[in-house]
Structure 1
Amino acid sequence: MKNMKKWLVLGFTLIMAFSLVACSEEGGEASGNEKVELNFWTFGATGYEELAKEYEKQNPNVTIKVKTSETAAHHDALFTALSAGSGAPDLTMLEVDQLDRFKVAQDRFTNLYDLGAKDVQDKYLEWKWNVGENAEGDFLFGLPTDIGPKALYYRTDVFKAAGLPTDPVEVAALIDSPEAFKEAGLQVKEKTKKPFVDSIEMAYRAYLDPAVETYLNPEGELLIDEEGNAVKKAYDYAVELNEAGLVGDFKLWSPEWASAVNTGGFAAELGASWLKGWMEGNAPDAVGKFRVATLPTEFAANWGGSYIAIPNETENAQAAYDFAEWLVSPENQLKSFKSNGLFPSAPAVYEMEEFKTNEDKFFGGQVTSSVFAQAAQDIEGAVYKGEKYFPIHQEILSALQNVQAGGDPEEEWDAAVQRAKDLVSR
């Protein structure tokens, strides 16, 4: 009888040991002092390499290999790896404008709700979090990193010459609607002979970027040929500003545009928070001449930002998630903001003293972070873009550029809609 008990105990112990091994293999989680190596694909200048080293010091059993690429190359390589079913990293950044391209491959990603993401959801802006979900709201593709709230960048010297206020609070109070935006532009044109905004694209994005639905709905159906759609409203507003002579002919990022930013070739830019980093490094003659004010609420929008996702190929899903959650914590978002200008998506950062007192020399000592924090909280909802957002967007921009060159606005619109229909039908 004693021998029987001994074998029963031994058998039960073996079964339990086997079960624990199986669970560990299925979950792919690091536990105890088990060595874990995570491959992390990033793009742009994030400074995540330094934060990864900091995490490694705190977690000696974890090694993180960070690979950084250009934005387009990064997403193309990721798409190829996911399509092949091999070669994807343990963690990856996903740029917000590329996100819908990957949402159609939901089965290739790990649902972060299964790894504990619900516990940190309330730390982030609601609209930012919602963009990272699937349409049903039961699958989370990625944890929020940075965002790109838009504001009005304006030249104080040009505004002063036009007889407009130059204090950010006064500018925001004056330019508090799309109509007031146009009126200020007319005053700049009359007094200085300079365009108000740099390009017809930026005039178009004034109404486009805040729109919850733009070119496509989640079913992939084209929306721009429907009566009263947001895209046509944005198009018409850009045409209106152009016909009033308020739009410059500077293409974003071109040498001519860069020179105009530096020398005051136009009065204002509807730019995202990340634009100030470019200005600080590329417009030496403009130091102290720019300020930032909040936009009219009708123009409140986000432009840019990303998420941290976990492809389901990983064998270390929980370890990857633990690092991602740490990486985008409010405390580390403050570090990323200070080191690389990544604007936080965690509102708690907006109340941190280092954030609230972060004066910008380029902007005459203004604490621009507070302006962008307000802009981030003025955004009302998640914007759906869809898999074919970029090619359709380019067709509308081409139409607007043709209008600026002398084309008929309605003819160009109709032609662009037809080209968009052709794209969707392919």
Structure 2
Amino acid sequence: MKAHLKAGITALSLITATAFAADIRIDGFPDYDTQINAIKDGLSQHNVTMLKNNHGDHHNKLKTNLATGTGAGDVVLIDVGFVGSFVNAGGFVDLTKFYKDMAGDYASYAVAAGKGNDGAQYAVPVDLGPGVMYYRRDYMEDMGFDLDEVMTDWDTYIDYGRKLKEKGILLIGDAGALANAYYRFNTKEGEGLYFDADGKSLVTSERFVRAFEIAKEVRDGGMDGQISEWTEDWYSGFRDGKFATQMSGAWLLGHLKNWIAPDTAGLWGVSNLPAGTYGSWGGSYLAIPKQAKNPEASWDLIEYMISEDIQLAGFKNIAAFPAHTGTYNDASFEEPIEFLRGQKARMLFAEIVDNVAPVTPMKGDLIAEDLINQALEKVLNDGEDIKKALNDVEKQLKRRVR
């Protein structure tokens, strides 16, 4: 495989070296800089640099750059959570003519999420986040629990949490993750996360009510640790076995293995979410701002970054799950993963990608997400009534989103 990747990178570098000679700057966030550095031999002739900011600062800066028409890189990396708001606000080059003959090689739901409301392709997927459940094997099969029974549905999963509590083990770090998983992964065809095809709010629908109910049941039952994600307490929770499960994208495997909890190798497994739910938890896109000086050269770089060989290199280097579905036939997908006690988890990741339904991105997604998160905090921490909290969100959306 290493020889194959090296050959692919070398061949691509010869092609793209003659395709453009412009200076190209990629604006992005970690861990994509690690990927750029890892494949720099294939980029060395292209005058490519990367401007790296942390996740939040990068997207805030990009928002300002697009609004003012200046300061953005030639190619920008965008988290999937920002795609709908950014592409529908304008500011990106229409990539349809470049991408239309290639789109079939990439996960269909991810391709759809990079389109604007006008149907044009403004951002293309570079990596995906198949939504999965990471679980501690020592708190599952090693304790006599049957994984399939536990994951039958959300009620059986919560029942598992009650039994763990009797043993002094938390079900999950923070119950809010359950609500996020449920409302994100149970959309109907043609819907967005927060709005229907006509732009009408969906936040008071049964999908959101049930999501909040699940989280509240876990919180009220003392089954979570109220541990915010991406904090030191969360990291130590993985290392010390404070909680039994964590819902996330496939990409969490790389973080657990490489820096969060490397000493827990063999204690983890991965499964579908309760009730066999399929969904996407994260992912990244590449786009070209209209202010880019050489959009054709910028596209040549994007085409290189989403090519099959470089997608496999990203999978190897930073555990970025490929958007290019042709990579799923690579022999590496059937290799057992030692960290997961020999489980061939990549096959599960690929199966999820094949079954994720497209979700229509909307301009008001970021506003809605912020309001929903605030409402969830009020329900979980302050005891606010679920329907009242969601009705308040809908009222605010009607004022703030046109």
- Among 215, 240, 246, the residue aligned to 2:194: 215
| 2:318 paired with 1:340 | yes
- Among 121, 141, 144, the residue aligned to 1:163: 144
| 2:92 paired with 1:109 | yes
Could you say which residue in structure 2 is the equivalent of 1:122? 104
The 3-state SS of whatever aligns with 1:152 is: strand
Range 306-315 or range 415-424, more displaced: 415-424
Taking the aligned partners of 1:31 and 1:249, their CA distance within structure 2 comes to 51
- Among 18, 31, 36, the residue aligned to 1:45: 31
| Ranges of 4+ aligned residues in structure 1 off by more than 6 Å | 30-34
Could you say which residue in structure 1 is the equivalent of 2:271? 293
- Among 392, 395, 400, the residue aligned to 1:421: 395
**TM-aligned CA deviation for residue 302 of structure 1:** 0.9
Taking the aligned partners of 2:200 and 2:144, their CA distance within structure 1 comes to 47
**TM-aligned CA deviation for residue 148 of structure 1:** 0.9
**TM-aligned CA deviation for residue 416 of structure 1:** 5.0
The 3-state SS of whatever aligns with 1:319 is: helix
Taking the aligned partners of 1:315 and 1:404, their CA distance within structure 2 comes to 48
Could you say which residue in structure 2 is the equivalent of 1:82? 66
Q: Which has the larger radius of gyration?
A: 1
* Structure 1 unmatched ranges of 5 or more: 1-29, 166-170
The 3-state SS of whatever aligns with 1:101 is: helix
Deviations 1:257-308 (A, max 9, x none): 2222111112111121121222121224422211111224553211111111
- Among 15, 21, 32, the residue aligned to 1:35: 21
User: Conserved in 1, the CA contact under 8 Å of 2:106 and 2:325?
Assistant: yes
User: Conserved in 2, the CA contact under 8 Å of 1:222 and 1:421?
Assistant: no
Deviations 1:2-21 (A, max 9, x none): xxxxxxxxxxxxxxxxxxxx
Could you say which residue in structure 2 is the equivalent of 1:18? none
Specify the code of the residue in structure 2 equivalent to 1:147: L
Taking the aligned partners of 1:330 and 1:394, their CA distance within structure 2 comes to 35
The 3-state SS of whatever aligns with 2:170 is: coil
Pair 1:401–1:72, CA change in 2 (3 A): closer
- Among 63, 67, 77, the residue aligned to 2:47: 63
**TM-aligned CA deviation for residue 245 of structure 1:** 4.2
User: Conserved in 1, the CA contact under 8 Å of 2:139 and 2:244?
Assistant: yes
Deviations 1:219-266 (A, max 9, x none): 5543223xx342222112222333444333222123322222111112
Taking the aligned partners of 1:279 and 1:253, their CA distance within structure 2 comes to 12
| 2:167 paired with 1:188 | no
**TM-aligned CA deviation for residue 353 of structure 1:** 0.9
Deviations 1:355-374 (A, max 9, x none): 321x4332223332222222
Could you say which residue in structure 2 is the equivalent of 1:317? 295
Specify the code of the residue in structure 1 equivalent to 2:313: K
Pair 1:133–1:104, CA change in 2 (3 A): closer
User: Conserved in 2, the CA contact under 8 Å of 1:294 and 1:374?
Assistant: no
- Among 233, 253, 269, the residue aligned to 2:230: 253
Specify the code of the residue in structure 2 equivalent to 1:324: I
Pair 1:367–1:248, CA change in 2 (3 A): same
User: Conserved in 2, the CA contact under 8 Å of 1:356 and 1:367?
Assistant: yes
Specify the code of the residue in structure 2 equivalent to 1:224: V
Specify the code of the residue in structure 1 equivalent to 2:249: A
* Structure 2 unmatched ranges of 5 or more: 1-15
User: Conserved in 2, the CA contact under 8 Å of 1:203 and 1:247?
Assistant: no
Deviations 1:313-352 (A, max 9, x none): 2332222112211211122111001011111112221210
User: Conserved in 2, the CA contact under 8 Å of 1:197 and 1:268?
Assistant: yes
**TM-aligned CA deviation for residue 144 of structure 1:** 1.1
Deviations 1:375-417 (A, max 9, x none): 2222122253x4443454344334444444461434xx41453
Pair 1:52–1:85, CA change in 2 (3 A): farther
**Pairing of 1:85-104 with structure 2 (within 5 A):** 85-104=69-88
**TM-aligned CA deviation for residue 32 of structure 1:** 6.3
